[in-house]
Chains A and B, each alone.
Chain A
């Protein structure tokens, strides 16, 4: 958490009357996986384009690896890797040729780019199929290859724009696992945009939530849970009828009660003690089998933030 690799100050980009990015102030420390969460059209891709210097901001400023995105964009692109909205692979070329091309683009010496390509493809389980045309591959394999391409020149920072979007669950898990493994072994900082909250929860040390171009919250998943999500409890058992629910709603420590598939979900005010609530349920004739207490998931935090913004 020492150096900052990304720093934006009131960064904005407007397209006519649409504010794709609106006064975004953000800091991303080095060496972490940073998740940029938001629904479709929130401004995630535009932010990446601004950070790579592919678009000029309407106002504000941003620096990436200490370089100004307006004046030093070529140098930023030299030091960063990117897997954007589309994999960007040449489907009429083989996997080997795709990496060879980008190795040349990054001016890697021949021996080094061949060794690096071999290491990455082996790591991702694609080495045996390196001579096949990429166009014949599944989407999951293409995403893995695109990940290899983004890491080929050992960038200090990589931008990944929804890397598991459109993949089936098995493919998404495989890419996610490879990403986590590579991020650790390569020591690279990852700026990851996603609307998959489970993915962000598994991969990211810090997350930022964006909606309609505005940053709603930023912090570690735990911090966000504490800040926006109340403690919760789940009670599994039998006999949870309307009278039991009404009884629970009268308790000051209970903010909300919901009955779903025979399970009670309680939203609590503060760190409430569960024992009196369980006694209340038992005295009312309910049978309690299991009580689970925990914090809100990132998905619940996200939905709360979206709701608050409305």
Chain B
């Protein structure tokens, strides 16, 4: 099973990185992402980039955006380019195809996020040196690494469900775009509409999240949602339905 999953990951990576719109373009996209999240934003934020808990929000959001960028193509793209039926007619088990598609997107997004995390520290220390090394506190390292992985998996789970149903990549991208906007903007807009006293209480609660226990709790909740999404996607994956759709 693992070999089959990795075979799909190999093919997806090859398409995403090496050949999609040309080899240079594929790698340039990755470098651009790393430059923005590993150099430009840390340069702007200074030493706050490695100490402020608000940065956790970035590490949660960046993988969602990166996954959404490529996961729409996973099944809708294969369907649109008429490669899906041949893939389904191969010996690969359903679970291997599904997990391979998800793992390819998660590893792409998480890889860029981790490289950006490391590069961010280097950038901050190189440009805002104050005589001592600026480093993420332990809870931010755990949060940055763990939350980014789990939100990448969340986006991959939702993305695969959308892509399985969509008849074209554009349709999948539009649906995922709306979903991403809702995830990012609905909490922000809702927060602004709450009474002042509620806002203070929520801010205090978020401040308390600056602890390892709260982070681990949030990560557990996210992991549970991720598992639920994988189970839902597995239930949705039916060869006959995919072919006849």
Question: Which residues of A approach B to under 8 Å, CB–CB?
Answer: 15, 49, 52, 54-56, 74, 77-78, 82, 84-94, 97, 101-102, 104-107, 133
CB of B244 to closest CB in A, whole Å:
8
Q: Let me know if A86 and B14 touch, CB within 8 A.
A: no
Q: Which of B10, B19, B87, B89 contacts A92, CB < 8 Å?
A: B19
Give complex CA distance A92, B16 in Å. Answer: 9
Give complex CA distance A55, B10 in Å. Answer: 28
Give complex CA distance A106, B82 in Å. Answer: 20
Give complex CA distance A278, B204 in Å. Answer: 109
CB of A133 to closest CB in B, whole Å:
7
Q: Which of A52, A74, A89, A102 contacts B93, CB < 8 Å?
A: A74
Interface centre among A82, A88, A91 (most CB of B within 10 A): A88
Instruction: Tell me the nearest residue of chain A to B92, going by C-beta.
Output: A105
A residues near B81, Cβ cutoff 8 Å = 90-91
CB of B17 to closest CB in A, whole Å:
11
A90-B15, A133-B19 known; A105-B91 Cβ under 8 A: yes
Q: Which of B10, B86, B240 contacts A84, CB < 8 Å?
A: B86
Per-residue contact bits, chain B 139-172, to A (CB 8 Å; 1 contact, 0 not): 0000000000000000000000000000000000
Q: Let me know if B87 and A88 touch, CB within 8 A.
A: yes
B residues near A86, Cβ cutoff 8 Å = 82-83, 85-86
Interface centre among A86, A87, A94 (most CB of B within 10 A): A86
Instruction: Tell me the nearest residue of chain A to B88, going by C-beta.
Output: A54
Q: Let me know if A92 and B83 touch, CB within 8 A.
A: no
Q: Let me know if B93 and A104 touch, CB within 8 A.
A: no
B236 at the interface (CB under 8 A from A): no
Interface hits, B62-121 → A, CB 8 Å: 81-83, 85-93
Q: Let me know if B93 and A82 touch, CB within 8 A.
A: no
A residues near B11, Cβ cutoff 8 Å = 90, 93, 101
A82-B89, A93-B15, A101-B11 known; A88-B240 Cβ under 8 A: no
A residues near B85, Cβ cutoff 8 Å = 54, 84-86, 88
Give complex CA distance A75, B87 in Å. Answer: 15
Give complex CA distance A54, B241 in Å. Answer: 9
Q: Let me know if B19 and A102 touch, CB within 8 A.
A: no
Q: Let me know if A90 and B89 touch, CB within 8 A.
A: no
Instruction: Tell me the nearest residue of chain B to A56, going by C-beta.
Output: B240
Q: Which of B7, B14, B15, B83 contacts A105, CB < 8 Å?
A: B7
Task: Supply 5 further A-B pairs (C-beta < 8 A) apart from A55-B244, A90-B81, A97-B14.
Answer: A55-B243, A89-B83, A90-B83, A93-B14, A106-B90
Q: Residues of B within 8 Å of A, CB-based: how many?
A: 25
Q: Let me know if A77 and B86 touch, CB within 8 A.
A: no
A54-B240, A105-B7 known; A82-B86 Cβ under 8 A: yes
Give complex CA distance A163, B14 in Å. Answer: 27
CB-CB nearest 8 A-B residue pairs? A88-B86, A86-B82, A78-B91, A92-B19, A104-B7, A82-B89, A101-B11, A77-B91
Q: Let me know if B15 and A92 touch, CB within 8 A.
A: yes
Give complex CA distance A101, B97 in Å. Answer: 13
B residues near A97, Cβ cutoff 8 Å = 14, 19
A residues near B83, Cβ cutoff 8 Å = 86, 88-90
Instruction: Tell me the nearest residue of chain B to A15, going by C-beta.
Output: B244
B24 at the interface (CB under 8 A from A): no
Give complex CA distance A107, B92 in Å. Answer: 10
Give complex CA distance A272, B19 in Å. Answer: 66
A residues near B90, Cβ cutoff 8 Å = 77, 102, 105-106
B196 at the interface (CB under 8 A from A): no
B residues near A101, Cβ cutoff 8 Å = 7, 10-11, 14
Give complex CA distance A88, B239 in Å. Answer: 16
CB of B7 to closest CB in A, whole Å:
4
Give complex CA distance A133, B14 in Å. Answer: 12
Q: Which of B87, B91, B240, B244 contacts A74, CB < 8 Å?
A: B91
Q: Let me know if A88 and B243 touch, CB within 8 A.
A: no
CB of B243 to closest CB in A, whole Å:
6
A residues near B3, Cβ cutoff 8 Å = 107
CB of B182 to closest CB in A, whole Å:
31
27 pairs of residues in contact across A and B, judged by CB atoms under 8 Å: A54-B239, A54-B240, A55-B240, A55-B243, A74-B91, A77-B90, A84-B86, A85-B82, A86-B83, A86-B85, A87-B82, A87-B86, A88-B82, A88-B87, A90-B81, A90-B83, A92-B19, A93-B11, A97-B14, A97-B19, A101-B7, A101-B14, A104-B7, A104-B10, A105-B90, A105-B91, A133-B19
